[in-house]
Structure 1
């Protein structure tokens, strides 16, 4: 009798341990949601210095931040950082040319983190290189995680204070998902501080839905707005609920070998941090391997975004129409630029753009609009799309060399 009891206890302990390990692992995997309303730490909220009641968040004026690029081994001294600086307009600093109210040519850019040029220094942004090429200041009003909707709202708020002859709106294809979002956590799990306004299309007209968060402290009690968020955020039903893990967690964890691989790589990173050096006898760059694992897990999201272009392109189109109308009212040249995130670049290298011939259709529809499809204009070295992006750090943003090539393409638009 005793052996059977011992075996039963051992099995029970094994199940409990597996369930606990699975729960902890799922919490660290970016493609899995583990709870709808995670508790928001007050210390984290205090660090959220970019909160903006109108836009959700926005780079603040006269700030300088340094970011560790991750270009070092665990325990080593930080070798490289990137510097993000903003001027008194909240635009990222453009070292190549100061503002000049009497300049013959003026240029500004609005968009997401690819417009902001995350992961490179102030003098490595495409705006800096454009300023060198055009001999004029180029404003950089990009915002991390912005959708096309937020880029336009920031344009409409900023333009009266900083009018320019040319306005470039620069976003990635993920904007098709971002314009359907109110709370980013429902589509980008863990992004719990990002609550934003959005637009809907009602009988062909854009209707604005304001953010339910008026004060930063309101973020501590988002659950009180649960009905509002669930009803107005498209992704709650179509992405969040299908990816919400539930007990038994072991089933959700073990059903995908990539999740297990990601968790093992995470464990390797943690061990190296504790040792302060690489694990003896294991020649693996855990950071790089984990980034590639995360990209593989991103494939379903890319396919989801591809479907959104089929179902919600009219909303995207209407926002472009709003941009064109605002340009006509203020007499500037509107230019729309689609750039590629790394997760799209690898997918699209095999299947073509997830947005199809959207830019060609926009060209046909809006005579006043200039469009640039950067995927068609950039030539990666040896056809390796990863060569266009930064090597280390968070990954996924254009390298300084690619930003220089982007600047050349966009400057040609002005020359023409």
Structure 2
């Protein structure tokens, strides 16, 4: 009888010890890896000094963030000397050699349009200017979704006599347009509060304004979380499911597909000085994020929203006397997925081909024997290199030439 009663006690003690070890291990690893999320990430502390700097240099009450006019800098980039960028008085990136011309094309979108890893004279909008001998306004902003690009066009296009507006976005934009606080999709991106569009009962777009758009609201952001959480699908579908919390053993088992390999890689990294090994955990995070975005291209609600955004963008551009073009710029992880499973966003393209002109760089990149020289090796999974931007510029130029 004693042994019968003793066994549950031993099992309980073992479980308590394992639970304590799991808790300590997760907290230890979390210190150096923001993508291993715990309850502290539900309400991360925002440093007021950093918030004020953000508002001085990049925040925008309506759009979330922008490239502010008359700014610039030098960043670590694809060349040893780094990359330089200059933002002009309108908020567009400098276009060396063409700024004396009246703008004919306007490009909006994310960091693939801005040219995060190249200098001003190496972006694809600049190469379009070279090929067509026209001035192209580059209004790309890092981490923008198609929704923010649409709002940016509504702000910038009226009054401009441009002939073509190009929305240049990565396929992952399907996630970005459904995000209200990027932290729930890109863990640790805590300053990225943004507006988003939803579809009402009749299928019409409804703009949800950026709820956290002042320094004061940033410092009191918890007040707005109930509304944000109800409007951001990733809060429940991704963030809460990935969170490791008490009981840690249960949540480790529940999220084993994501978190167990991640923890194993992090532990391996702690025992190694090899930078390739230390990069593996974040690459694992990126790969999963891209699988999620690829899966959303099979989700009707996501496709309906994307189609509505393209339709509204095309309508607004045409009302203002220009022609709309959607340019899909696959990331390196997208290309890897497509090599194995085909073009996962093809259904979306079929739905919008009659709405706007479409340029898909996917087939052009897939036919390359190697992508090594076309994507830079940065921590964000690679951005277009100078060679890639030359290719994009050539493809875009050929596609829009007849619209000028």
For the superposition of Structure 1 and Structure 2, which TM-score range results when normalised by the shorter chain? Answer: 0.7 to 0.9
Q: Structure 1 residues 213 and 172, CA, compared in 2 at 3 Å: closer, same or farther? A: same
Post-superposition shift, 1:374? 1.0
Residue 379 of structure 1: how far off its partner (Å): 4.5
CA distance in 2, matches of 1:80, 1:220: 38
Cα displacement (A) at 1:20:
1.9
- SS in structure 1 of the partner of residue 90 of structure 2: coil
Number of residues paired by the alignment?
Answer: 382
| Distance in 1 of aligned mates of 2:22 and 2:347 | 47
Measure how far apart 1:201 and its partner are. Answer: 1.3
Which residue does 1:50 correspond to in 2?
A: 58
Deviations 1:332-361 (A, max 9, x none): 111111111222221222112222332233
In 2, the alpha carbon distance for the partners of 1:241 and 1:386 equals 36
2:121 to 120, 123, 132: 123
Aligned to 2:343: 353
**Aligned counterpart for 2:375 among listed residues 367, 384, 389:** 389
Q: How far 1:304 sits from its partner (Å)?
A: 4.4
Q: Is the 8 A contact 1:302 1:344 kept in 2?
A: no
The aligned counterpart of 1:112 is: 110
Q: Report the 3-state secondary structure (helix = DSSP H, G, I; strand = E; otherwise coil) of the residue aligned with 1:317.
A: helix
Q: Render the CA deviation track for 1:174-205: whole Å, top value 9, x for unaligned.
A: 12121112111111111111111111112021
- 5+ residue gaps, structure 1, are 1-7, 72-78, 270-278
Q: Aligned partners of 2:45, 2:191: CA distance in 1, in Å?
A: 11
| Secondary structure, counterpart of 2:137 in structure 1 | strand
- Work out the CA distance in 1 between the residues paired with 2:224 and 2:398: 47
C-alpha contact (below 8 Å) 2:106/2:166 kept by paired residues: yes
For structure 1, which segment, 230-239 or 190-199, has the greater mean C-alpha deviation from structure 2 after superposition? 230-239
Counterpart secondary structure, 2:169: strand
Match of 1:167, SS?
Answer: strand
**What's the offset of the Cα at 1:330?**
1.1
SS at match of 2:346: coil
Q: CA deviation at 1:158?
A: 0.8
Alignment of 1:128-207 (within 5 A): 128-160=126-158, 162-202=160-200, 203-207=202-206
Q: TM-score when scaled to structure 1?
A: 0.83
Q: How has the CA–CA distance of structure 1 residues 302 and 28 changed in structure 2, closer, same or farther, with 3 Å as cutoff?
A: farther
Q: Which sits farther off after the overlay, 191-200 or 92-101?
A: 92-101
Counterparts of 2:88 and 2:117, CA distance in 1: 18
Residue by residue over 1:56-104, the C-alpha shift from the partner in whole angstroms, topping out at 9 and shown as x without a partner, is: 1111011112222498xxxxxxx44222221111111112411423x7x
TM-score where L is the length of structure 2: 0.85
Offset of residue 168 of structure 1: 0.4
The alpha-carbon deviation at position 250 of structure 1 amounts to 6.0
Cα shift readout 1:9-39 (whole Å, capped 9, x = no counterpart): 9998886455323223245445543221111
Task: Give RMSD over aligned pairs.
Answer: 2.8
2:246 corresponds to:
247
Whether contact under 8 Å (2:158, 2:320) holds in the other structure is: no
How far apart are the structure 2 equivalents of 1:60 and 1:214?
Answer: 16
Q: Secondary structure, in 3 states, of the residue corresponding to 2:85? A: strand
Moved more, 185-194 or 252-261: 252-261
Q: Kindly state the Cα deviation for residue 288 of structure 1 after the two structures are TM-superposed.
A: 5.0
